[in-house]
Structure formats: structure tokens, C-alpha cells
Structure 1
Amino acid sequence: MNTAARFKIVDGEKFPRTGAFVLAPNHYSEIDPVVMGVVSWKLGRQPRFLAKASVFKIPIVGRILRSSGQIPVQRGGSVRGSEPVKAAQRLVERGQMVVVYPEGTLTRDPDLWPMRGKTGAVRIALEQGIPIVPAAHWGTQHVMERYSKKISFFPRKTISVKIGDPVDLSAFQGRGLDTATLNEATAVVMHAITGLLEDLRNEKAPATRWNPAEHNQKETGRFEA
């Protein structure tokens, strides 16, 4: 990926070089985790991801995931499960970062705009008292289209990435982490991610965020929120 694509990173100085934090990017291609992994390495951090537990059962792949500190999440579960919570606590203790896709899966929006988010990213940030940093990327679809199994390396593609300021969640600190509070905080994070993507695309996102439940679409994916 490093040689197959050019990376144009905007506001990379906003990416925390030390300390634990949640990186929350948009998600529209199966290769997105590789993209954000490369970006994290380029900016000096070793990325960790929340990944579906089923992926850990794949020979060799599962071993690599475990050895590199990736975090399994049971299908149908959430970050409220004991293992993800314990893993998040270990990340804080070690001052590590974790990449969490708030959408939970590839966006279903027809034009690849961020859709409705899930609450895992903000739950980790609020429970662990760590920053959540929004990020957006654009151009990955030229390397691997949504739902495609084909990767196109040539001609060499350019992927633009923009890092945002940590999302201000101070209004939610001290409040009980009930569903309404988490959904409200998640909407703030999704607004920040969408704003970054608008800057990269130089266009405005739809006024109403895509909601798969309203379109009878099943939400699946390997990288959990």
C-alpha cells in the first residue's frame, strides 16, 4: 500500500504522538483499515483495531491479529462486552491508540458519505477518559471499490487524509452513559468526521445522514464500533 498509493495527509500535526486515544475515521472500503494503518505508521503510532471475533479464527491472520494487539468483538456484541472493555483499559494503561470505525461497517450511503454512527467509539473515549480524534480519507475507492474484492494498484492512486481536532465531549462527561447520551455524543463525532470529508471532497454532505434501518439494510462488517 505504501508504494501502491500516494498519501496526502492534511493537518497531520493534530494526530497525537503520545498517549492513549481513539481514532475515528470514515469507512467505505474493505481496504480502509490498511489505509489508516499506513497513515498511523507514517504519523508515528502503531495502530490497534477493534475487529470481529470471527476474523481471529482465520489461520495465520488470527495469529497476526492477536500478536499485534488487535481487539476481538463478538458478532452481535458491542464494546460493552468484557474483553473489549478490558482491552481498552490496557490501551490506556500502555498509552496506546485504537482505531474504531463509528459506522461499524462500510457506509451504505450511495455517495459514500458517512452514515449513522454506532456508540462504541464514544463509549470507549468517555469510559476511559481519553480523546477521540476524527479523521477522514478520500481516494481509497479508486484502490478498492466498496464491496469489491479487486484491488487496483496501477496507475498509482492518491489518497487524501485529514486529521481533525479532538472532539469536545466535555458536555457528556459526568452524565450516565445511557443510550440517549451515547447517541447524542456519537452524532457529534459523526458531524466532525463528515466535516473533514466535506473539506477533502470540496462539497457538502446531504443534510440527513443515511440510516440503514430506514432502508431495510443489514449492517455487517469486520471492523466494529
Structure 2
Amino acid sequence: MTEPRPEAQYTFRRRGGDALSPDVRVYANIVKGAILGLSKRSWSGMEHIPLKGPAILVWNHYSDIDPILVVHYVYNAGRHPRFLLKESIVRVPVVGAILKRAGQIPVKRGSAEAADSLRILEDQLAQGHVVIMAPEGTVTKEPDRWPMRGKTGVARLALESGAPVIPIVQWGALGIHDRKRDPKFKLGRKPVTVRALPPVDLSPWRDKEPTRDDLVEVTDRIMEDLRAGLAEIRGQEAPPLFDPRQQRTEESGSSE
């Protein structure tokens, strides 16, 4: 007997994952229809995403539209992903209502609510959901689109919740849309690779009160796993983790 493949088909979801309300299924299928027409997908690693229970999914964020490609992948992996959104996005007519109905979480940057965002995500994990985070907090500033050093929020969330951290690496989104070069979407199906990796080994830091240095080390470990996975799908040697703060310091020093 041939064993079933661990991967979902590109059109259908893995069975046994999160239940969805009918309206969320409709919204998801509308988005999927658009993405299916724009991307020629190469997907792998879905067996690393658990069908049940909490998990923190992290991805290399290098373009405006790669969150949609990652959400498509996670949806087909059988999960209903939750992530934080700028409050301005959920104020957009129709779109905002759909996102909130789908369980996404609006946050005001710089507000007390934003400072409490980790508690919100930890509550989602406690309910058995999966959350998606870009550890850098924004599109990477690395000139060649490699991951840069992340913020420590994902490390704190992982250590406090105990949830596994699963990297998702992806490449190809700029073939569909690159705001810096052309604001228009490119027609035709462009190659897109998305791959989930095994959970990050955080055992050296589990079961103890983390220090600031611990949080930095955990964050770097997560970003290094993302960098290594991206190097594999890009077929290139990855540079050291880019640190935009160090670059600003160097540029400031050179201008004096």
C-alpha cells in the first residue's frame, strides 16, 4: 500500500486541522483563487506544522505580499493562522471587517495595546491556535533580502508559552510584485517556493527564567535557522545576520 504524502495539494487543505466557519472558508477561497493565478508553487515541509495544538510560525519577511503567500501555505497545511495587523489595515472598508471576522488582531503601534501584544498572542496559543510572526517586525532592510536580526518578542513568547517555533522560508514573491521597481502586479504565474522547517531547538533555554542575553540568543537562533533554510532554497551562501542598528551607527560615524 502506498503511504499518503504528508503534503496538502495546492488547491485543497490537509484534513484533520482547524475547523472553519463557512464565511471564513469563502474569504479564504477568494484569496486563494487570486494567489493560484499568480504563483506557480513549490511547497514542502508541511509535516512540520502540527494539525492540532499551539505553534509559533515565523517567516522571512522581504516583500509586501509574502504574508499572503505564507498564509495560503499555512491554510492549506490545515491551520487557521492568527497574526497581528496594523490598526490602519482593519479600518479599510470591507477588508477590515473580513480580517477581524477571520480572527486577526488589530494593534496600534506605539500604544499600550501594542506593548501588550505578546499577551494577546500568548492567549491565542493557550487556546490551541497557531500564530504567525515576522521576528524582524518589518520587511528586512538587508540589501539582498536576507533575514536580519530579529526583535526579542518572539523569543519571549516562545519561552513563556512553551509553544514550538517553526520556521517557514519562502522565495519568489518579488516576481509577482516589487513595489520598489514597479507598483503593478505582474501577470502570469511566477515560481514561488515555500518550505516549513523542523522546530527550532530551544532546549538550552527552556524551563528557566530568561535573561536579556538569553532572549537575544534565542532570537538569533531562530533567525539563523530561517537564514539557513533560505540559503538552501536560494542556492546561495548566506551572509551574517544583518543588523540595521549597527549599520546606522556606522553611517552616523562616517558622516562625522
TM-score, normalised on structure 1?
0.86
Deviation string for 1:107-128 (max 9, x for gaps)?
A: 1111111011111222212111
Distance in 2 of aligned mates of 1:149 and 1:65 = 27
Larger RCO, structures 1/2 (Cα 8 Å, 6+ apart)? 1
Instruction: Verify: 1:94 aligned to 2:122, yes or no.
Output: no
Distance in 2 of aligned mates of 1:153 and 1:44 = 29
Distance of aligned partners of 1:81 and 1:164 in 2 relative to their CA distance in 1, 3 Å threshold: same
Does the 8 Å contact 2:66/2:173 carry over to 1? yes
Aligned counterparts, 1:43-192, within 5 A? 43-76=77-110, 81-82=115-116, 84-145=117-178, 147=180, 150-192=183-225
Distance of aligned partners of 1:115 and 1:142 in 2 relative to their CA distance in 1, 3 Å threshold: same
Does the 8 Å contact 1:28/1:146 carry over to 2? no
Structure 2 stretches of 5 or more lacking a match? 1-34, 250-256
Distance of aligned partners of 1:158 and 1:95 in 2 relative to their CA distance in 1, 3 Å threshold: same
Distance of aligned partners of 1:140 and 1:51 in 2 relative to their CA distance in 1, 3 Å threshold: same
Instruction: Verify: 1:215 aligned to 2:247, yes or no.
Output: yes
The count of aligned residue pairs is 215
Shift of 1:149: 6.7
Shift of 1:55: 2.7
Range that drifts further, 73-82 or 13-22: 73-82
Deviation string for 1:79-135 (max 9, x for gaps)?
A: 9833x2342233223311111001111111111110111112222121111001011
Does the 8 Å contact 1:4/1:157 carry over to 2? yes
Does the 8 Å contact 2:108/2:114 carry over to 1? no
- CA RMSD in angstroms, aligned pairs only: 2.2
Provide runs of 4+ in structure 1 moved above 4 Å. 77-80, 146-149
Instruction: Verify: 1:39 aligned to 2:73, yes or no.
Output: yes
Match of 2:230 in 1: 197
Deviation string for 1:1-57 (max 9, x for gaps)?
A: 122112211222112211110100001001011111111112111111122233333
Larger C-alpha radius of gyration, 1 or 2?
Answer: 2
